[in-house]
Structure 1
């Protein structure tokens, strides 16, 4: 598998002839975006690769469509050109594109092509903050991507999530090759100590349960709402058990890395 870090949550994964783009965000930095309940964040870093230099994309995985740090204007403009878009059921209704597949947690879609093995993509548990705030924060999913007919997960994407029992149960049950885990510890001034994504320490704890062959951190920089950030993730990895440390790979910006 080849991964290219583009910025924020956006990673290009290439394997078995498939080109899969995760949470496309390609707007330039500097703009403030509004989120739910009067919260907002400024994008501080632009994409390492412009959208028009990526080439054709077979699948775009959109963990949720309603926050600009996971799907911004330039990323949204790319959706019609993808072969498939996979997102939440509610997101598919909002996007209203004919090639969009909406999934609830636990549901699977099979994607086929004449010249490559079929893929099965299953929505995995994600919760973008405390349970009581779900009506405000909205639906989010992760993705388990398998070669059709195989039980092993070739690629798992956590999506934006905090730790919760369903996530840990799913992590314990999956056999994962490559995991992309969103961290950064998102908090807002208006919501005080409440977090909306995992800290580095929480991501490390999850990886200890998941035990993938390779783990990659994502979505920990490039926005003003990260409180743990890159240093928090790196510090947590340095303090992690050796079995976790040996699995983590840090991707350079814009450079394809073969795993």
Structure 2
């Protein structure tokens, strides 16, 4: 059996996934607490700093950026961080906006990356829905990622996804999954009349069961005021589903 994949969560959606000799970072957010205004006058408030600085983090091989258009997934210092990363994989529109080393992937499109040992890692973009049906018109396109490599376990990174139907599609293609980094926190925004824009705790537990996952690393459940649930809510939901033993806190 392959060794457990190390995942460290630094706050919000930012996590380091050490996989097949490579270092992958999700949605970099390193700013301190503060307010961020989005188009339309919506303000997102960050309530806690990252638990690491870019200098403390050290080199990263690839950034896996679910989307670039919201500051709780890519803040000011996160944008600056991208300039020093060899490759950022994100949405097609995001890559055009970011430029530099950003490369766009459509849902189900893959990128083959060279491992330090001479093998390859396949990064496949998978669909995500950032809100209720039709949310793309307001929230924009979002993707998640699946990492696969010969002799390595399968890793799923959800990104800002609120759709269990999409999780089922991903499970059909890649399940069972060894490790899932599930963005949760039950964020709600008035622009969607309070509907969930990312999974809540019970939905995260359902996603884990759908994927047949062995290890679940919750992310995106702290550090922002519009998140309506925290770690304790995720734990309670997994306990209620009798799968709390799958939780792995990075």
TM-score w.r.t. the length of structure 2 is: 0.92
CA contact (8 A) 1:36 1:137 kept: no
Distance in 1 separating the partners of 2:88 and 2:127: 18
Q: Is the 8 A contact 1:18 1:116 kept in 2?
A: no
Question: How many residues are paired up?
Answer: 245
Q: Kindly indicate whether the alpha-carbon contact (under 8 Å) linking 1:18 and 1:58 is maintained by their aligned counterparts in 2.
A: yes
- Cα deviation for residue 215 of structure 1 reads 0.8
1:220 match: 221
Indicate the larger mover: 175-184 or 137-146: 175-184
**Structure 1 position 76, deviation (Å):** 0.7
SS in 2 for 1:181: strand
Aligned to 2:50: 47
- Residue 116 of structure 1 and its aligned partner are, at CA, apart by 4.5
Q: Does 1:170 align with 2:140?
A: no
Q: Report what 1:254 is aligned to.
A: none
Does structure 2 retain, via aligned residues, the 8 Å contact 1:183–1:217? yes
Among candidates 6, 28, 32, match of residue 24 of structure 1: 28
Asked if the contact 1:12–1:21 (Cα under 8 Å) also holds between the matched residues in 2, the reply is yes
- 1:228 is displaced (CA, Å) by 2.4
Q: 1:128 aligns with which of 117, 127, 130?
A: 130
Give 1:75's aligned residue.
78
1:38–1:167 Cα change, 3 Å: farther
Equivalent pair of 2:167/2:211 in contact (CA under 8 Å): no
What is the CA-CA distance between 1:154 and the residue it aligns to? 2.8
Deviates more, 1:50-59 or 1:184-193: 184-193
The CA distance in 2 between the partners of 1:245 and 1:54, in whole Å, is 29
Match of residue 249 from structure 2: 250
Scaled by the length of structure 1, the TM-score of the pair is 0.89
Whether 1:64 and 2:63 are equivalent positions in the alignment is no
- Report deviation, 1:229: 2.6
SS at match of 1:205: helix
Matched residues in 2 for 1:45 and 1:158: separation? 22
Q: What displacement does 1:190 show?
A: 5.1
Partner residue, 2:112: 110
- Is 1:37–1:136's contact at 8 Å kept on the other side of the alignment? no
Q: Is the 8 A contact 1:17 1:116 kept in 2?
A: no
Quote the RMSD (CA, aligned, Å): 1.7
Alignment gaps of 5+ in structure 2: none
Separation of aligned partners in 1, 2:126 and 2:185: 20
Structure 1 residues 107 and 90: alpha-carbon distance in aligned structure 2, compared to 1, 3 A threshold:
same
Mind listing any 5+ residue stretches in structure 1 that lack a counterpart? Answer: 252-259
Residue 94 of structure 1 pairs with residue 125 of structure 2: no
SS of the counterpart of 1:132?
coil
Q: How far apart, in 2, do the equivalents of 1:153 and 1:127 lie?
A: 25
Contact in 2 for aligned 1:142/1:157 (Cα 8 Å) = yes
Deviations 1:182-239 (A, max 9, x none): 0111112454331111110111011111111211110011000011232321221121
Distance 1:201 1:141, change over 3 A: same
